[in-house]
Structure 1
Amino acid sequence: MNDMEIPWDSLDELNFSDTFSNITSVETMVCATAFNRTALLNSMCVLYTFIFIVGLAANALVLWVNIRAQRDSSPRHETHMYIAHLAVADLCVCATLPIWVSSLAQHGHWPFGEVACKLTHLLFTVNLFGSIFFLACMSVDRYLSVTQHADEGGARRKLIRRGACVGVWLLALVASLPETYFLHAVKSAHGDTMLCRPEYPEENPREWMVGVQLSFILLGFVFPFPIIAVFYVLLARAFARSSSSSSTSSSSPVERERCVSHRVILAYIVVFLACWGPYHGVLLVDSLSQLGVVPLTCGLENVIFVALHLTQCLSLLHCCFNPILYNFINRNYRYDLMKAFIFKYSTRTGLARLIEASNVSDAEYSAVAVENPPQI
């Protein structure tokens, strides 16, 4: 986020007299900035502030409701563990945004020091990878929960979920270490501005930069997106088979609920693709241009520079979409939310004691809401 000054620093740091001492003339091309840099910075600050406010509030609410729901002896949600970890990851991503906004508002100046540079970036990247990996785990888990009987291997599946959560966090940490290792707070060559940016080995900095970018593309999109898409398509097919084998009419509550489930599954895939596809696409073009596969012109350089920053803002919108897709549109979650607020704020009126005395189980609620709804 703080590489706004990098192209100009690189030009100032080149030692042409030593490198090209035996060459009579050197052709260099300095591209003029074809965009309003101040407008870009201000736009990013506004977008990050919006994501911070909405994402922080929504994910904090999700985490609070899930913690309260787990106090029940028999929790209803098959993927509650992944949802809680997903909310934590998105919450931590949003928590780092004010620091980036502060730096962007100062035109990329990083006043917080090198330790904060590394730790903030590590916290941001670990939770960013963790959020993506947990979405992939949820797609697999939901498909297995539908195709397998709920009473088969419940304890074993719970243990597997806990192991998967630990594995996700470890993998996210490992994926974040390379770029974090090279991050430094360095002084700009053309002023007193401090920048938080990676400093790769001088022998082959371009190869290191491209390697880090390609690893981010592979781990952040190429591997998880097919998993998410394939398993949610399989889940939709499982719903379709159960629908065709049942004798319910197309206007029955069960069939309408299944249609809603198909649309929700489609939304899972489309939102992930829309948030992460553009950023990784631009990152791939940038990597190919650095390798010389795609000719780098001044026009393309300006487009890549602006597109990388805007699509990164778009990708972070998933922190706002995840609570809506995986929680707020879920009927059981809305019931948990309603119950949590009732029990917290209505104790003086006796309404909480009345609901508790009615002893309506979660299964009874689900049966009243819709007969045997698909579990997504």
Structure 2
Amino acid sequence: MSSQNPFLLDFWCALPPSSLWSSPQHHKMSLSAAELEELWEDLGELNVSDSFSNISRVDVMVCTTAFNRTALLYSMCVLYTFIFVIGLAANGLVLWVNIRAQRDSTPRHETHMYIAHLAVADLCVCVTLPVWVSSLAQHGHWPFGEVACKLTHLLFSVNLFGSIFFLACMSVDRYLSVTQHREEGGARRKLIRRAACFGVWLLALVASSPETYFLRAVKSVHGDTMVCRPEYPEENHREWMVGVQLSFILLGFVLPFPVIAVFYALLARAFSRSSSSSSSSSSSHLEQERRVSRRVILAYIVIFLACWGPYHAALLVDALSQLGLVPLTCGLENVLYVALHLTQCLSLLHCCFNPILYNFINRNYRYDLMKAFIFKYSTRTGLARLIETNNMSETEYSAVENPPLI
């Protein structure tokens, strides 16, 4: 007597750069009961000999891939390489300039503390990308061992959380610096910033620890490759997986984005109020500067939302489908697989945007950059050459614009 029973086999494929971004990939196949038994034994997940003793054939409906997986993975390799090169160069330059700026004793450089930590976090995220690219190029194969699996993920995850948390801290700090700059001394504010930086790194480490603990370098379902992925307890595997996804959504977007949006909106409002109360003699110039500041503030909010919103939306749909709250059809499965790859790549572009938004469009940073390196025209050779400015003369130094007052 034959019986038809549907089964959905979840083949978990860890997607670089983080095993947080894992989604099931399905194929359609038809297996006999004996073949299905052998598959379960190979997976080492359960013994189905009793379950299938009275049936002769089982149809396992697993979704076919509706896209070119190889082309997608190689495209991701190219995009991650681009992010690595740009992010490494931009954040390395930001960090170097900010370290040099610390030699200046003026108070404005105290605000660079968050910038420096943000650059370190983004730099460390970018440093891990070649490892994930190598794994992607080998279709998810992880040849580096379990220790490297844990350490690479921990480095990536801690700094990714740290980058997001520092952006939230900067939004609060900038608002307080404008509205309460007379109420606190520089020493106290500097101490608060240091404590906040320590708290951010500690929170990022705590947020990254649970999944890192469960990470293992294990054989793939086909047994021919090794993959770096979390191995949660079998009795509540799905609950752990969904819990990690939801915690990432909560800590990576639901909590920090409102903080960033609200405090930057309050900062823009403070600029508008101060503009209306300024004297008429200088109101035109100040209004122009504050208009630019409001546009920059809007860019902070929009770019964070554009980079991180799509990924967390895809991750939320994936989590809801795991809980059965969203029907997981073959079409949705294919869309999620592609969406998680593309949106995670979009989210990592934030490591390239941060140096531009928080440094290169800032006049103080451009001033520090020009102090570090300045193009000097040589009348003897007729060529522009890059020179160090440590021992510049007053004439050479006059080529640098005067720093704006804060």
**Structure 1 length normalisation: TM-score?**
0.90
What is the aligned counterpart of 1:180 among 212, 216, 224?
A: 212
Q: How far 1:97 moved relative to its partner?
A: 0.3
Cross-structure match for 1:214: 246
| 2: CA distance, partners of 1:245 / 1:22 | 84
Give the TM-score of the pair, scaled to structure 2. 0.84
The 8 Å contact of residues 24 and 333 in structure 2, kept in 1 or not, is answered as no
Counterpart CA distance in 2 for 1:334 and 1:248 is 29
- How many residues align? The count is 364
Question: Distance between the aligned counterparts of 2:307 and 2:144, measured in 1?
Answer: 30
Q: Distance in 1 between matches of 2:87 and 2:106?
A: 29
Q: Are 1:48 and 2:89 an aligned pair? A: no
Q: 1:333 is matched with which residue: 339, 349, 365?
A: 365
Aligned to 1:365: 403
The answer to whether the 8 A contact 2:80-2:133 is kept is: yes
The answer to whether the 8 A contact 1:78-1:142 is kept is no
Report if the CA contact (8 A) 1:249-1:255 is conserved. Answer: no
Encode CA deviations 1:12-46: one digit per residue, 9 max, x unaligned: 62546247246647563210011100110011001
More helix by share: 1
CA positional deviation for 1:337:
0.3
* Residue identity opposite 2:373 in structure 1: F
Equivalent position of 1:353 in the other structure: 393
Q: Deviations over 1:250-271 (max 9, x none)?
A: 9822111110000000000000
- The one-letter code sitting in structure 2 at the alignment partner of 1:174 is V
Gaps of 5+ in 1: 368-374
* Residues 120-199 of structure 1 aligned to structure 2 (within 5 Å): 120-150=152-182, 152-199=184-231
Is 1:93 the counterpart of 2:133 in the alignment? Answer: no
Task: Measure how far apart 1:154 and its partner are.
Answer: 1.5
> Quick check: which has more Rg, 1 or 2?
2
**Aligned partner of 1:313: which letter?**
C
CA deviations on 1:219-269 (whole Å, 9 max, x unpaired) are: 000000000000000000000000011133798221111100000000000
- Give 3-state SS (helix, strand or coil) of 1:91's partner: helix
Give structure 2 stretches of 5+ with no counterpart: 1-14, 28-38, 376-384
Partner AA of 1:74 in structure 2: T
Work out the CA distance in 2 between the residues paired with 1:347 and 1:16: 70
Q: Which structure is richer in relative contact order (CA contacts within 8 A, separation 6 or more)?
A: 1
Partners of 1:101 and 1:202 lie apart in 2 by 30
Deviation at 1:175, TM superposition (A): 0.3
**SS of residue in 2 equivalent to 1:327:** helix
1:238 is aligned with what amino acid? A
**Contact 1:214–1:287 (8 Å) recurs in 2:** yes
Does the C-alpha gap of structure 1 residues 357 and 43 become closer, same or farther in structure 2, counting only changes over 3 Å? Answer: closer
Q: 2:323 aligns with which of 278, 291, 310?
A: 291
Amino acid at match of 1:366: P
